[in-house]
Amino acid sequence: MVFLERLCRTIRVFLIGSAARKGLRICVPAAQLVLVAVFAQPLLSFGAAMAQMQTIRTEENGVVHHRLERCDYERGVAVASYSFRKHSPYRPPESQITDICFDRKGGRLWASEPEDRLTLVQQDEQWDQYEVLVPDFPRWRASVTNYEQASGNGGYRAGSVDFDYQRLASELLNWNHTGTQLDGDVRLHGYIFDTQPSPDIEPSDFKVYVGGSDQWDHLRGRDEKYRDREVPYLSFEGVLRFDGSKGVVNLRNTSNTGKEGAGKLFLTVNDKGEISGSGTLTVENARLAGIRPHDWKTTTWEIRKLVGHMVGDGGEQFRAVGIADGQTVDQDGFVNPVHASIEITGYSRRIAELWDDGSELDGE
What DSSP line would sit under 74-91, residue for residue? EEEEEEEEEE----SS--
Q: What is the distance between the alpha carbons of residues 75 and 283, in angstroms, rounded to a whole number?
A: 33
Q: What is the distance between the alpha carbons of residues 192 and 100, in angstroms, rounded to a whole number?
A: 8
Q: Are residues 186 and 204 in the same domain?
A: no
The answer to whether position 328 is within a domain reads yes
Q: Which of 172, 194, 216 finishes a domain?
A: 194
Q: Are residues 83 and 167 in the same domain?
A: yes
Q: Are residues 331 and 288 in the same domain?
A: yes
pLDDT at 278: 95
Contact 325, 332 (CB under 8 A): no
pLDDT at 39: 34
Contact 299, 187 (CB under 8 A): no
pLDDT at 28: 44
pTM: 0.81
Residues of the chain with pLDDT > 70, as a percent, come to 75
The answer to whether position 224 is within a domain reads yes
Strand partners, 309: 274, 319
CATH code for position 332: 2.40.160
pLDDT at 295: 81
Range scoring the smallest mean pLDDT among 130-144, 179-193, 217-231: 217-231
How are beta strands 141-145 and 161-166 bridged, if at all? antiparallel
Q: Are residues 216 and 321 in the same domain?
A: yes
pLDDT band at 43 (very low <50, low <70, confident <90, very high): very low
Q: Are residues 111 and 236 in the same domain?
A: no
**Is the pLDDT score of 157 beyond 80?**
yes
Range scoring the smallest mean pLDDT among 127-136, 153-162, 209-218: 209-218
**Is the pLDDT score of 37 beyond 60?**
no
**Is the pLDDT score of 217 beyond 60?**
no
Q: What is the distance between the alpha carbons of residues 202 and 157, in angstroms, rounded to a whole number?
A: 19
Range scoring the smallest mean pLDDT among 109-113, 144-148, 214-218, 273-277: 214-218
pLDDT at 209: 95
**Is the pLDDT score of 123 beyond 70?**
yes
Contact 55, 65 (CB under 8 A): no
pLDDT at 16: 36
Q: Are residues 155 and 141 in the same domain?
A: yes
pLDDT at 154: 62
Most confident of 43-47, 137-141, 200-204, 300-304: 300-304
Q: Are residues 76 and 175 in the same domain?
A: yes
Residue closest to 71 by CA, chosen among 39, 104, 97, 96: 104
Residue closest to 230 by CA, chosen among 331, 86, 103: 331
Greater confidence, 73 or 217? 73
**Is the pLDDT score of 104 beyond 90?**
yes
pLDDT band at 67 (very low <50, low <70, confident <90, very high): very high
Q: Are residues 132 and 179 in the same domain?
A: yes
Most confident of 25-34, 66-75, 240-249, 255-264: 66-75
Q: What is the distance between the alpha carbons of residues 187 and 8, in angstroms, rounded to a whole number?
A: 52
Residues of the chain with pLDDT > 90, as a percent, come to 44
Q: Are residues 89 and 171 in the same domain?
A: yes
- Segment 94-102 mean pLDDT: 96
pLDDT at 21: 42
Residue closest to 98 by CA, chosen among 73, 81, 116: 81
Q: Are residues 226 and 343 in the same domain?
A: yes
Contact 317, 194 (CB under 8 A): no
**Is the pLDDT score of 259 beyond 90?**
no
Q: Are residues 210 and 337 in the same domain?
A: yes
Angle between helices 2-15 and 20-52 (to 10 degrees): 100
The answer to whether position 180 is within a domain reads yes
Q: Are residues 217 and 331 in the same domain?
A: yes
The answer to whether position 56 is within a domain reads no
Greater confidence, 296 or 153? 296
The answer to whether position 63 is within a domain reads no
pLDDT band at 360 (very low <50, low <70, confident <90, very high): low
The total number of structural domains in the chain stands at 3
pLDDT band at 2 (very low <50, low <70, confident <90, very high): very low
The answer to whether position 240 is within a domain reads yes
In the chain, the DSSP E strands lie at 56-60, 63-67, 74-83, 94-103, 108-110, 118-123, 127-132, 141-145, 161-166, 185-193, 205-214, 233-243, 246-253, 258-269, 274-285, 296-311, 317-330, 335-348
- Its domain, for residue 42, covers 2-49
Question: How many CB atoms lie under 10 A from the CB of residue 208?
Answer: 24
Q: Which of 177, 194, 211 finishes a domain?
A: 194
pLDDT band at 255 (very low <50, low <70, confident <90, very high): confident
Q: Which of 194, 228, 258 finishes a domain?
A: 194
Q: Mean pLDDT across the chain, nearest whole number?
A: 80
pLDDT at 363: 57
